[in-house]
C-alpha cells in the first residue's frame, strides 16, 4: 500500500522523455569521464542540449548543476586513487582533470572536510559520490505504484545459496526513525551513506540496506537502517548519527537470484529473492535462521548478477 509521500511524488511525475535524457547523460558521464577530451561542454554536445537546459534538468532531478555533478565524480575518483595508488597528490589532481595542486586541494576539502594528504594518511570514511541512475529511481516509483500488476516476482524464485562464516566483528550502521524500506529510507535519510560506508577499506561487503535485530534498534527508531560489517579492530571516527555495535560470530546465508534482462526489473528481482528466503528450510541443511544475532542485508540487484540478500544463521547438530 503506497504511503502519502509516494502518491505525491507520482502526482508530479516528470515527462518520461526527460527522465530518459537525464539517465542517458548520467550513463555518458559514467562511461567517458576519464576520457582525455571529456568536459562539461562535451557532455552537452553529446546530449544534444544547451548547457542551460542540462543544468536545469540536473538541478531538478539530481539537486545540483552539471558542473557540480561532474566535480563530485572526479573528487570521488581522486579519493579512490589516493588510497589505491602511490601517485603524488599533484598527479592524482591532474588525472582527475584539475589544473593545479592548490585548486584540487581546495575542492577536495570543500567536499570532504579533509585535505587529500590527510585523507591518504588517515583513510577516514568519506561520503564518496554515488552516481544513482535517475531512471532506476522512477522505475522504483513505477513498481510501487503498479505492484499488484507485477508478475515477474512469481517467476524468479530460483536462487543460489552460499554460506559464509563470520567471526566476531563490528557493525557500522545508520538507523532511520520512520523508514520501513529502501524507498522510504532514502526519502528520510538521503543517499550519502553508501559512498561513506563503501569508502571503508576494511569492510567485509559493500554497504547495504539492513533490518536490525531488536536488541540493536535505538529507542525511537525503526528496524530499518543501512550498514556495513568491519573487523573488531576498526576505530576510525564516523560522522554524527552513525553507530557501532559488536556482533557475535555466526553464518551468513547469501541468496542470489538469477540475472535478468531489463535493468528496471531490479525491484521484482529483490522481491523474488525475499520470497525464496521465506520458502527456504535451512534445517534440512544443518542451519537455522538466527535473526537475533545479526542484521539481514539487502545488497540490491544488478541485471548481470541478479539480486543479493544475506540473512544470519547458526549451525545445528
Q: Which three cell numbers stand for residue 209?
A: 540496506
> Are 64 and 165 part of one and the same domain?
no
Question: For residue 108, how many other CB atoms are within 10 A of its CB?
Answer: 27
Residue 129 maps to a domain: no
Q: Which three cell numbers stand for residue 306?
A: 541478479
- Parts of the chain with a pLDDT under 50: 1-11, 148-149, 151-154, 156
> Are 106 and 172 part of one and the same domain?
no
Q: Give the C-alpha separation, 209 to 140, whole Å.
A: 15
User: Tell me, what CATH number does 285's domain have?
Assistant: 3.20.80
> Are 178 and 283 part of one and the same domain?
yes
Residue 127 maps to a domain: no
Beta bridge partners of 175: 225
> Are 266 and 288 part of one and the same domain?
yes
- The predicted pLDDT at position 158 comes to 75
208-223: pLDDT as tens digits: 999 999 999 999 999 9
79 Cβ contact partners less than 8 Å away, ≥ 6 residues apart: 108, 112, 119, 126, 128, 199
Answer yes or no: pTM beyond 0.75. yes
> Are 139 and 213 part of one and the same domain?
yes
**224-230 and 250-257 beta bridge pairing:** unpaired
Number of domains observed in the structure of the chain: 2
Q: Give the C-alpha separation, 305 to 26, whole Å.
A: 21
- The predicted pLDDT at position 145 comes to 56
Burial of 177 (0-12, 13-18, 19+ CB in 10 A): exposed
Q: How far is CA 1 from CA 6, 157, 181, 224, in A?
A: 10, 23, 12, 18
> Are 199 and 236 part of one and the same domain?
yes
> Are 191 and 290 part of one and the same domain?
yes
Residue 202 maps to a domain: yes
**287-289 and 243-247 beta bridge pairing:** unpaired
Residue 262 maps to a domain: yes
Residue 182 maps to a domain: yes
User: Tell me, what CATH number does 31's domain have?
Assistant: 1.10.10.60
> Are 76 and 145 part of one and the same domain?
no
Phi-psi region of 170 (alpha: psi -120 to 50; beta: other; left: phi over 0): beta
254 φ, ψ (degrees, to nearest 5): -95, 125
- The predicted pLDDT at position 11 comes to 44
Question: For residue 61, how many other CB atoms are within 10 A of its CB?
Answer: 19
> Are 116 and 141 part of one and the same domain?
no
Structural domain that includes position 94: 4-122
- The predicted pLDDT at position 8 comes to 44
2-60: pLDDT as tens digits: 344 444 444 455 677 888 899 999 999 999 999 999 999 999 999 999 999 999 999 98
- The predicted pLDDT at position 140 comes to 63
Residue 128 maps to a domain: no
Residue 183 maps to a domain: yes
Amino acid at each position: 500500500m503506497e504511503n502519502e509521500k509516494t502518491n505525491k511524488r507520482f502526482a508530479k511525475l516528470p515527462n518520461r522523455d526527460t527522465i530518459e535524457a537525464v539517465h542517458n547523460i548520467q550513463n555518458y558521464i559514467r562511461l567517458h569521464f576519464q576520457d582525455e577530451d571529456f568536459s562539461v561542454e562535451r557532455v552537452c554536445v553529446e546530449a544534444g542540449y544547451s548547457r542551460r537546459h542540462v543544468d536545469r534538468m540536473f538541478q531538478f532531478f539530481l539537486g545540483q548543476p552539471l558542473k557540480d555533478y561532474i566535480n563530485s565524480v572526479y573528487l570521488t575518483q581522486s579519493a579512490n586513487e589516493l588510497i589505491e595508488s602511490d601517485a603524488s597528490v599533484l598527479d592524482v589532481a591532474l588525472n582527475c582533470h584539475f589544473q593545479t595542486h592548490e585548486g584540487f586541494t581546495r575542492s577536495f576539502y570543500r567536499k570532504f572536510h579533509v585535505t587529500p594528504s590527510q585523507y591518504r594518511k588517515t583513510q577516514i570514511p568519506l561520503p564518496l559520490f554515488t552516481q544513482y541512475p535517475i531512471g532506476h529511481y522512477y522505475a522504483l516509483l513505477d513498481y510501487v505504484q503498479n505492484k499488484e500488476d507485477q508478475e515477474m516476482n512469481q517467476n524468479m524464485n530460483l536462487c543460489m545459496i552460499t554460506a559464509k562464516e563470520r567471526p566476531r566483528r563490528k557493525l557500522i550502521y545508520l538507523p532511520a526513525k520512520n523508514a520501513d524500506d529502501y524507498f522510504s529510507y532514502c526519502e528520510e535519510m538521503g543517499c550519502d551513506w553508501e559512498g561513506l560506508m563503501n569508502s571503508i577499506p576494511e569492510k567485509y561487503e559493500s554497504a547495504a540496506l539492513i533490518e536490525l535485530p531488536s536488541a540493536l534498534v535505538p529507542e525511537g527508531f525503526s528496524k530499518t537502517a543501512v550498514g556495513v560489517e568491519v573487523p573488531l579492530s576498526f576505530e576510525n571516527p564516523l560522522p554524527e548519527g552513525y553507530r557501532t555495535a559488536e556482533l557475535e560470530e555466526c553464518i551468513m546465508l547469501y541468496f542470489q537470484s538469477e540475472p535478468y534482462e531489463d535493468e528496471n526489473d531490479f525491484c521484482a528481482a529483490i522481491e523474488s529473492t525475499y520470497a525464496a528466503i521465506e520458502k527456504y528450510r535451512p534445517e534440512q541443511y544443518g542451519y537455522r535462521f538466527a535473526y537475533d544475532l545479526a542484521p539481514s542485508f539487502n545488497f540490491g540487484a544488478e541485471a548481470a548478477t541478479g539480486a543479493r540478500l544475506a540473512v544470519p544463521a547458526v549451525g545445528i547438530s
